[in-house]
A and B are shown apart, each in its own frame.
Chain A
Amino acid sequence: MGAHLRRGWGYRANIATRAVAGSIGAYLVAACFAAAAARTLPMNRLDAIVPATMLAFLVAPGVTIWAFLAPGPLRALAGVLGSAALLAGVAWAAGMPAA
């Protein structure tokens, strides 16, 4: 098709932004989710690690997909960073569980 050659810098910037949101951003959200879930799930601090980590591996592809479906690249980036910040806030507010 060769259409990619005719696609301009706008298209490339769009894809690049979504790719960053969908890769590094997705990992960031998954990591913050793991921390937030580990601290808030109603389980002891060891047991909670298991579902928190398992679910984090499902959160990551979900975020990647969303980053490419979001209405615009900046919305994707903002949405991803916003969710990471929100989850980090939850983890911070919950605090480290006592031994």
Chain B
Amino acid sequence: MSAVRDGARQVMAWLHGWTGLLLGWVLFVMCLAGTLSVFKPEIGRWMRPETIATADRATALTAATGWLSKNAPNSFGWYLTLPNDRMNTVEATYDPGTGFVYRALDPVSGAPVPRETLGGEFFYRLHFELQMPFPWGRLLASLAAAILLLGLITGIIAHRRIFKDFFTFRPAKGQRSWLDGHNALGVLALPFHLMISFTGLLTLATLTMPWAISANYGKDMAAMFQAFQPGHVDRPAAGRPGSLAPLAPMLREAERRLGRPVGRVTVEHPGDAAAVVTMFRDDARQIAYAAGAVSFDGITGRVLADYTEARPALQTYGVAYGLHLARFAPLATRWLYFLCGAMLTLAVASGMVLWVVKRRERGPLSRGNRIVERLNAGVLAGVPIGCVAFLLANRLVPLGLPARAETEVSIALWSAGAAVLLGTLLPPRHAWAVLLGTLALECAAAGLPGGAFADGVQAGVSGALLVAAGASGWLAWRQWRRPAPTPRRRTRAQLA
């Protein structure tokens, strides 16, 4: 009996299951990292507890560019995010001569902070680059996002009673409970899930779907970029040294013209006579991302371009992009993003578990499904272990260690790898208990130590870690106490 000859609903359920299985674990990593990225600045502050100095934007920008002029004068560009009410440091991406690095700069001294770390940037990059080289990570992430959108649509079609299942949960009933949980997680935040998968696809559209662009511009990408960003000044380096004019007056002028605080500053060819400084308005108070910018000649401080996006089609794209990044979101909305993201992460995880549970209740698992069962324990519990290991490493790796930030990342990846391996080798029932127990201890160890509740942000992140410790500890304990599963393993004779 061919699955595809059954009714449309069954076909959709079949497609939902198989496409979900195909990239479910990748999606889990993306959803988890994306959810954490909602609080990227706050995670960054939690990971740099010693750096409590604050400075206004002009002081911080002057300090940062002063330090960069001495330590990264030959970088192609400096890409800076100025401090704001969520973040006290200057986030800087620059090339000190050894390739581009990302560092948080002290807002007063301009030098990298002592506890060198990627902070929330690690989760942000993991979310869409998956620790893979360009462009493979982004392509895989886009494919996973396309599968997520497909999974949501097929899930909706396969689903008989969306409204009724809103209110349905039948606990402790095996497959039924997993299905109810999976449905509730998917349906309760369905508009968010649809929005986030669709806008996620759009953020990488120039890479994955460039055909509308090439249809209308052919190979003339320069013309396209000029039309796309009329305010962008693309000026080649002059090859003669030049010294940057003070940036504080440019900042004042940009904020006067934009009518809003500046959020990001880029300096291209910083030590060159053709240096260009571009200042972008902050992303608060409007959904659209990077809605306006003012560019200056870096040497004379003269305004080269001043542009605020007002074309409806481009604004639509900016709003879609901004909806995904959620930088516009005030605190309450940010928490909503976080909760919806967590629900999506759990929907993906429960879907993966459901795949196995459903097949186990029908009889002995095939070899392939036994592998899925083990990888489920390994990945679904092991990847969070890696994420929390990153936070824990931040507290344990000594300050001043060479390549300290990269060491934290290595620890996170090796922990995740070890956890996945362990989860795959142990029998599934023990694997879940052991890994979730480890996760609980890890969360508690990262969340408890001294200074953890020094201010609102420290308390918020540490509190979230303790909640996670409690939840995973409870799950581990339940799993450990649970009697060995007695799947109704029917023999072939019984089935017949």
How far is it, in angstroms, between the C-alpha of A37 and the C-alpha of B315 when the chains are bound?
19
What chain B residues lie within 8 Å of A4 (beta carbons)?
Answer: 366
Q: Is B213 an interface residue, CB under 8 A from the partner?
A: yes
The answer to whether A51 and B15 touch across the interface, beta carbons within 8 angstroms, is: no
What chain A residues lie within 8 Å of B316 (beta carbons)?
Answer: 50-51, 54
Which among B118-126, B214-222, B262-270 touches the partner chain? B214-222
The answer to whether A68 and B15 touch across the interface, beta carbons within 8 angstroms, is: yes
Q: Is A42 an interface residue, CB under 8 A from the partner?
A: no
The answer to whether B2 and A11 touch across the interface, beta carbons within 8 angstroms, is: yes
**Quick one: given A34-B211, A57-B149, A57-B205, are A65 and B313 in contact (CB under 8 Å)?**
no
Min C-beta distance of B149 to chain A, whole Å = 6
The answer to whether B215 and A96 touch across the interface, beta carbons within 8 angstroms, is: yes
What chain A residues lie within 8 Å of B15 (beta carbons)?
Answer: 64-65, 68
Q: Is A30 an interface residue, CB under 8 A from the partner?
A: yes
Partner of B4, one of A14, A37, A38: A14
For chain B, the bracket of interface size reads 35 or more
Partner of A53, one of B3, B8, B205, B314: B205
Q: Is B317 an interface residue, CB under 8 A from the partner?
A: yes
What is the chain B residue whose CB lies nearest that of A7? B2
The answer to whether B313 and A47 touch across the interface, beta carbons within 8 angstroms, is: yes
**Quick one: given A65-B12, A97-B216, are A46 and B149 in contact (CB under 8 Å)?**
no
What chain B residues lie within 8 Å of A47 (beta carbons)?
Answer: 311-314
The answer to whether A57 and B201 touch across the interface, beta carbons within 8 angstroms, is: yes
The answer to whether B212 and A37 touch across the interface, beta carbons within 8 angstroms, is: yes
How far is it, in angstroms, between the C-alpha of A69 and the C-alpha of B214 when the chains are bound?
32
The answer to whether A68 and B212 touch across the interface, beta carbons within 8 angstroms, is: no
Q: Report the interface size for chain A: residues with CB under 8 A from the other chain.
A: 42
**Quick one: given A47-B314, A51-B313, A68-B11, are A91 and B215 in contact (CB under 8 Å)?**
yes
Q: Is A77 an interface residue, CB under 8 A from the partner?
A: no
What is the chain B residue whose CB lies nearest that of A37? B212
Of A36, A49, A58, which is in contact with the most chain B CB atoms at under 10 Å from its CB? A49
Min C-beta distance of A61 to chain B, whole Å = 4
Partner of B363, one of A2, A11, A56, A60: A2
Q: Is A48 an interface residue, CB under 8 A from the partner?
A: yes
What chain A residues lie within 8 Å of B375 (beta carbons)?
Answer: none
The answer to whether A57 and B212 touch across the interface, beta carbons within 8 angstroms, is: no
The answer to whether A34 and B153 touch across the interface, beta carbons within 8 angstroms, is: no
The answer to whether B8 and A69 touch across the interface, beta carbons within 8 angstroms, is: yes
How far is it, in angstroms, between the C-alpha of A50 and the C-alpha of B315 when the chains are bound?
10
The answer to whether B212 and A56 touch across the interface, beta carbons within 8 angstroms, is: yes
The answer to whether B313 and A46 touch across the interface, beta carbons within 8 angstroms, is: yes
What chain B residues lie within 8 Å of A56 (beta carbons)?
Answer: 209, 211-212
Q: Mark A22-61, 1 if CB is under 8 A from B, else 0.
A: 0000000011101111110001011111111110111011
Which among B45-53, B71-79, B104-112, B223-231 touches the partner chain? B223-231
What chain A residues lie within 8 Å of B223 (beta carbons)?
Answer: 99
How far is it, in angstroms, between the C-alpha of A61 and the C-alpha of B19 when the chains are bound?
12
What is the chain B residue whose CB lies nearest that of A19? B18
Partner of B202, one of A57, A65, A99: A57
What is the chain B residue whose CB lies nearest that of A99? B223
Q: Is B150 an interface residue, CB under 8 A from the partner?
A: yes
Q: Is B146 an interface residue, CB under 8 A from the partner?
A: yes
Of B202, B313, B362, which is in contact with the most chain A CB atoms at under 10 Å from its CB? B313
The answer to whether A34 and B215 touch across the interface, beta carbons within 8 angstroms, is: yes
What chain A residues lie within 8 Å of B216 (beta carbons)?
Answer: 38-39, 45-46, 48-49, 96-97
What chain B residues lie within 8 Å of A32 (beta carbons)?
Answer: 211
What chain B residues lie within 8 Å of A58 (beta carbons)?
Answer: 198
Min C-beta distance of B12 to chain A, whole Å = 7
What chain A residues lie within 8 Å of B317 (beta carbons)?
Answer: 50, 54
The answer to whether B2 and A1 touch across the interface, beta carbons within 8 angstroms, is: no
What chain B residues lie within 8 Å of A69 (beta carbons)?
Answer: 4, 8, 11
Min C-beta distance of B463 to chain A, whole Å = 38
The answer to whether B366 and A2 touch across the interface, beta carbons within 8 angstroms, is: yes
Q: Mark B136-180, 1 if CB is under 8 A from A, else 0.
A: 000000000010011001100100000000000000000000000
Q: Is B36 an interface residue, CB under 8 A from the partner?
A: no
What chain A residues lie within 8 Å of B213 (beta carbons)?
Answer: 38, 49, 53
The answer to whether B149 and A48 touch across the interface, beta carbons within 8 angstroms, is: no
What is the chain B residue whose CB lies nearest that of A76? B4
Q: Is B344 an interface residue, CB under 8 A from the partner?
A: no
27 residue pairs of the A-B complex, CB under 8 angstroms, read A2-B366, A4-B366, A11-B2, A15-B4, A18-B4, A31-B209, A35-B211, A35-B215, A38-B212, A39-B215, A46-B311, A48-B216, A50-B314, A51-B316, A52-B212, A53-B212, A56-B211, A57-B146, A57-B149, A57-B205, A58-B198, A61-B149, A65-B153, A68-B4, A69-B8, A96-B218, A97-B216
Question: Which A residues lie at the B interface, using CB under 8 A?
Answer: 1-2, 4-5, 11, 14-15, 18, 30-32, 34-39, 43, 45-54, 56-58, 60-61, 64-65, 68-69, 73, 91, 96-97, 99
| 19 extra interface residue pairs, beta carbon distance < 8 Å, beyond A39-B216, A46-B311 | A34-B212, A34-B215, A35-B211, A36-B215, A38-B215, A38-B216, A46-B227, A46-B228, A48-B313, A50-B313, A52-B212, A52-B215, A53-B212, A54-B317, A57-B205, A61-B153, A64-B150, A69-B11, A96-B216
